[in-house]
């Protein structure tokens, strides 16, 4: 299965939150799935970790997830941003969620997120808990 991992999946792990174990399992089972992340999510994670002065965790994240190729990075080209805006209007999503949704929709990816806002979209979402009950 081709999975687009939302920002919150990584933050669960990096910040040791409630669903960190199942989120980590999603990353560890690369043989079962192709894993993708948006460039927007990477920048959002960087912004949050820098704001919290968690520089070491940011370096580790970039090294372990992005630089080693564990997760492929995807983006929405500026010429395709109208689809993001359309998703904001049609589904009442924030820009970041609409960006993720646009990628999942265009590339037929399963969106993995803890964010319930995706539940009001035609594609919906799955959670790490649904992947690994």
Residue 53, pLDDT score: 97
Domain range for residue 71? Answer: 2-131
Q: What is the pLDDT of residue 31?
A: 78
Q: How far apart are CA 98 and CA 58, in angstroms?
A: 24
What pLDDT does residue 12 have? 95
> Rounded CA gap, 84 and 98, in Å?
5
Confidence (pLDDT) at 128: 93
Alpha-carbon gap, residue 112 to 127, rounded angstroms: 5
Strand order in the sheet with 110-112: 72-74, 34-38, 2-5, 110-112
Element (H, E) at 110: strand 110-112
Coil/strand/helix, residue 35: strand
Number of domains comprising the chain: 1
Q: 3-class DSSP state for residue 73?
A: strand
pLDDT of residue 70: 83
- Per the DSSP assignment, residues forming a β-bridge with 131 are none
CATH code, 116:
3.40.50.1010
pTM of the prediction?
Answer: 0.93
Question: Mean pLDDT, consecutive 10-residue segments, the chain of 133 residues?
Answer: 96 93 87 92 97 95 87 94 97 97 97 96 95 80
């Amino acid at each position: 299965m081709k999975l687009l991992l939302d920002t919150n999946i990584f933050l669960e792990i990096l910040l040791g939150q409630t669903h960190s174990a199942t989120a980590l399992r999603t990353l560890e089972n690369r043989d079962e799935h192709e894993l993708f992340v948006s460039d927007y999510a990477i920048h959002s994670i960087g912004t949050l970790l820098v704001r919290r002065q968690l520089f070491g965790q940011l370096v580790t994240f970039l090294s372990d997830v992005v630089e080693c190729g564990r997760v492929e990075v995807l983006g929405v080209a500026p010429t395709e941003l109208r689809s993001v805006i359309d998703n904001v209007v049609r589904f009442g999503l924030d820009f970041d969620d609409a960006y993720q949704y646009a990628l999942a929709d265009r590339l037929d990816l399963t969106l993995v997120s803890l964010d319930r806002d995706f539940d009001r979209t035609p594609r919906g979402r799955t959670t790490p808990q649904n992947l690994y009950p």
